[in-house]
């Protein structure tokens, strides 16, 4: 059984961006699923799908990711192989085109799991990855607007980010994630993000924290999106994998994870899941969480998760 599910982040999708979001998800799942079918390799398929999403500026990952309070792009990503629990992650990397690929290099070429900041950037240069500026004019424009709102007295302290996001739910949208399974039963989960708009410099979210935003085991995999602090405090992706190990379906798992969030930290969150039988699940407590999924049962790509549905 081969299957793959992607998310394009939780939050509000502005109408004018919806077509780009849908098209990006479609391109990414086509590219990833092609690899899954031709190479039967969930790791390469997951990386490929996330790369396509990182390269599409409408998403908050890689090119066009959101900016920190001081106007920089600090990117986080992680990838996990369920069969062996091998994992790689990077946090706070700058000037990188595809953080998920750097995370894979951390997994395959080092004895470590997580590299951060300058160290991660030095490692990227050592690996021959050229410097790349992921900041787009579109994001800079948004950042300038938000900064001027903040200067006019909107909340600027990180503790107030919840308020800021309630007012501007589109701030959250756009992190990307993927969970894939190949015919060998290998489940791989990957997530890539710029974090939350106007985060403090140095802030690391849930994405590169194993078991928080990204996790996989032989029983299932999960990728999360939303306010990273809530996802970290509930170790949501690992919790999802534990639920699937107990035999709970991927869909019920996703729903139970959102219940857990709603009953504890109460932060805006979305999750995609995939279990060892290749069944997928997704749930969120926000306005949108665009997802795309496909499986070898019918090879039909499906897109869902927009609020009008």
Question: Can you tell me which of 48, 51, 68, 193 binds ligand ASP, judged by CB under 6 A?
Answer: 193
Which helix H or strand E contains 192, and what residues bound it? strand 187-193
In the complex, the smallest distance separating the C-beta of residue 265 from ligand ASP, rounded to whole angstroms, is 12
In whole angstroms, give the CA distance from residue 172 to residue 61: 12
In the complex, the smallest distance separating the C-beta of residue 185 from ligand ASP, rounded to whole angstroms, is 28
Question: Can you tell me which of 89, 165, 172, 189 binds ligand ASP, judged by CB under 6 A?
Answer: 172
In the complex, the smallest distance separating the C-beta of residue 87 from ligand ASP, rounded to whole angstroms, is 17
Counting beta carbons within 10 angstroms of the beta carbon of residue 158, is it exposed (0 to 12), middle (13 to 18) or buried (19 or more)?
middle
45 or 204: CB nearest ligand ASP: 204
Q: Which stretch binds ligand ASP (CB under 6 A): 41-49, 179-187, 191-199, 281-289?
A: 191-199
196 or 257: CB nearest ligand ASP: 196
What residues from 195 to 214 belong to the interface with ligand ASP (CB under 6 A)? Answer: 195-196, 205-207, 213
In the complex, the smallest distance separating the C-beta of residue 2 from ligand ASP, rounded to whole angstroms, is 26
Q: In this structure, how many other beta carbons lie within 10 angstroms of the beta carbon of residue 156?
A: 16
Residue 175 annotated as catalytic: yes
177 or 220: CB nearest ligand ASP: 177
Angle of the 117-126 helix axis to the 99-109 helix axis, nearest 10: 80
Site track for ligand ASP across 106-125, x = CB under 6 A: --------------------
In whole angstroms, give the CA distance from residue 170 to residue 211: 26
The phi, psi pair for 236, rounded to 5°, reads -65, -40
Question: Can you tell me which of 8, 226, 278, 290 binds ligand ASP, judged by CB under 6 A?
Answer: 226
In the complex, the smallest distance separating the C-beta of residue 175 from ligand ASP, rounded to whole angstroms, is 3
Question: Can you tell me which of 51, 192, 225, 295 binds ligand ASP, judged by CB under 6 A?
Answer: 225
In the complex, the smallest distance separating the C-beta of residue 207 from ligand ASP, rounded to whole angstroms, is 5
> How many residues of this chain interact with ligand ASP, rule: CB under 6 A?
15
What is the sign of the dihedral through the CA atoms of 65, 67, 68 and 71? positive
Q: Which stretch binds ligand ASP (CB under 6 A): 38-46, 104-112, 226-234, 290-298?
A: 226-234
In the complex, the smallest distance separating the C-beta of residue 296 from ligand ASP, rounded to whole angstroms, is 29
Q: Which whole-number Å values give the CA distances from 130 to 44, 121, 122, 125, 134, in the listed order?
A: 21, 10, 11, 7, 12
Q: Residue 199 in contact with residue 164, Cβ under 8 Å?
A: no
Counting beta carbons within 10 angstroms of the beta carbon of residue 86, is it exposed (0 to 12), middle (13 to 18) or buried (19 or more)?
middle
What residues from 245 to 304 belong to the interface with ligand ASP (CB under 6 A)? Answer: none
SS3 per residue for 125-144? HHCCCCCCCCCCHHHHHHHH
In whole angstroms, give the CA distance from residue 47 to residue 25: 14
Question: Can you tell me which of 57, 221, 228, 281 binds ligand ASP, judged by CB under 6 A?
Answer: 228
Which helix H or strand E contains 147, and what residues bound it? helix 137-151
Q: Which residues, listed in sequence order, are joined to residue 273 by a DSSP beta bridge?
A: 222, 281
Q: Which residues, listed in sequence order, are joined to residue 295 by a DSSP beta bridge?
A: 3
What residues from 1 to 60 belong to the interface with ligand ASP (CB under 6 A)? Answer: 9, 60
Q: Which of 48, 68, 175, 193 is catalytic?
A: 175
Q: Residue numbers of the site for ligand ASP (CB under 6 A)? A: 9, 60, 172, 175, 193, 195-196, 205-207, 213, 225-228
Active-site residue numbers? 175
């Amino acid at each position: 059984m081969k299957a793959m599910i992607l998310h394009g982040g939780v939050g509000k999708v502005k109408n004018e961006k919806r077509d780009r979001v849908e098209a990006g998800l479609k391109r990414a799942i086509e590219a990833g699923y092609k690899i899954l079918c031709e190479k039967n390799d969930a790791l390469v398929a997951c990386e490929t799908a996330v790369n396509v999403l990182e390269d599409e500026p409408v998403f908050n990952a890689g090119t066009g990711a959101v900016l920190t309070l001081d106007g920089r792009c600090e990117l986080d990503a992680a990838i996990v192989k369920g069969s062996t629990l091998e994992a790689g992650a990077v946090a706070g990397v700058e000037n990188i085109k595809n953080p998920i690929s750097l995370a894979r290099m951390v997994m395959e070429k080092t004895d470590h799991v997580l590299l951060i900041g300058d160290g991660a950037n030095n490692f990227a240069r050592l690996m021959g990855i050229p410097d790349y500026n992921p900041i787009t004019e579109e994001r800079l424009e948004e950042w300038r607007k938000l900064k001027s709102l903040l200067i006019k007295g909107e909340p600027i302290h990180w503790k107030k980010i919840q308020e800021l996001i309630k007012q501007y739910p589109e701030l959250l949208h756009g992190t990307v994630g993927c969970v894939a399974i190949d015919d060998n039963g290998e489940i791989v989960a990957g997530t890539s993000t710029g974090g939350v708009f106007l985060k403090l410099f140095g802030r690391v979210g849930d994405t590169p924290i194993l078991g928080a935003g990204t996790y996989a085991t032989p029983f299932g995999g999960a990728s999360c999106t939303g306010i990273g602090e809530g996802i970290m405090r509930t170790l949501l992706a690992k919790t999802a994998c534990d639920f699937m190990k107990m035999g709970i379906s991927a869909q019920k798992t996703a729903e139970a994870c959102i219940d857990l969030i709603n009953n504890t930290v109460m932060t805006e969150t979305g999750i995609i899941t995939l279990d060892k039988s290749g069944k997928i699940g997704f749930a969120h407590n926000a306005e949108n969480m665009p997802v795309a999924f496909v499986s070898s049962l019918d090879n039909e790509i499906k897109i869902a998760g927009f609020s009008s549905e």
